[in-house]
Amino acid sequence: MIRVRGRRLPRRSAQLLIGLFLYGVGIAFMLRGEVGAAPWDVLSQGIARHIPLTFGVITIFVSIVVLLFWLPLRQRYGIGTLLNALLVGPSADIGLLLIPTGQPLWLRIGFFIIGLVVLSVATGLYIGAHFGPGPRDGLMTGLHARTGWPIWAVRTGLEVTVVLIGWSLGGNVGFGTLAFALLVGPLCQYFMRVFAIRMDVEPRSSAAQ
């Protein structure tokens, strides 16, 4: 058996919380870009047009629904999973309050680029902290494990589905949605390498077993 040392816990905890806050801020920048949102944000945007709740509150509810789908897939929650579901939405609402809307196109494109980079950095931070995947990532890996379908097929199927539902409800689909789909993977992979915290493990002594 192995035991994970806890001496990096303060750094991991800080990295998790900073990453989740920045993730919401990145979403807010992309939304204020108004050139197309990320697939799951298109869904939250569309729902927000029909329910008198903020984008962030709806994001929380969507995350909770996604986590319910984990149950039949027998996915295991981590503290990072639950905090992701609860904290990203409020931080996105804060960003939406602070970032101005109705800007010229060149500035909105800049907002989108900033948001994409910030979200990718945030992904590297919170995943690198090793506290569990986000709700949507866990749904993807759970479906992959249960169906045997390739990860890319599962992810594409999920995101096409939520984009179509969100778009039908009035969510913003544009060239930014396509840019996100093409660029977020390589960017996240890079920042996950940058911010990954090495988890030291050591054999547990027989007396401790």
Q: Which residue do the tokens 């749904």 mark?
A: 139
Read off the pLDDT band of 152 (50, 70, 90).
confident
CB count in 10 Å sphere of residue 169: 17
Residue 23: C-alpha distances to residues 14, 34, 52, 84, 121 (Å): 14, 18, 23, 9, 8
Can you give the length of the chain in residues?
Answer: 209
Q: Which residues contact 202 (CB under 8 A, 6 or more apart)?
A: 2, 3, 5
**20-79, pLDDT tens digit by residue?**
999 999 999 999 999 999 999 999 999 999 999 999 999 999 999 999 999 888 888 889
The structure tokens 């192995």 sit at 2
Longest CA span, the chain: 67
For 23, 31, 115, the CA distances from 199, given in Å and listed in that order, are 23, 35, 29
> Does residue 201 register a pLDDT over 60?
no
Better-scored residue on pLDDT, 131 or 202: 131
CB atoms within 10 A of CB 104: 8
Residue 179 has pLDDT above 60, yes or no: yes
Decide: 197 and 11 in contact? Cβ < 8 Å. Answer: yes
Every domain of the chain and the residues it spans: 2-197
More confident residue, 104 or 203: 104
Give the chain's count of helices (H) and strands (E).
8, 2
Structure pTM?
0.88
Whether the pLDDT of residue 89 is over 80: the answer is: yes
**What pLDDT score does 4 carry?**
43
Helix residue spans in 99-168 (DSSP H): 105-128, 135-147, 151-168
- Higher pLDDT, residue 155 or 207: 155
Over residues 93-140, the pLDDT tens digits come to: 999 999 999 999 999 999 999 999 999 999 999 989 989 888 998 898
d(CA 140, CA 192): 18
Q: Tell which wins on pLDDT, 189 or 172.
A: 172
Q: What is the pLDDT of residue 57?
A: 97
How does the average pLDDT of the chain come out, rounded?
A: 89
For CA atoms 61, 175, 99, 88, the dihedral sign is: positive
pLDDT higher than threshold 80 for residue 5 = no
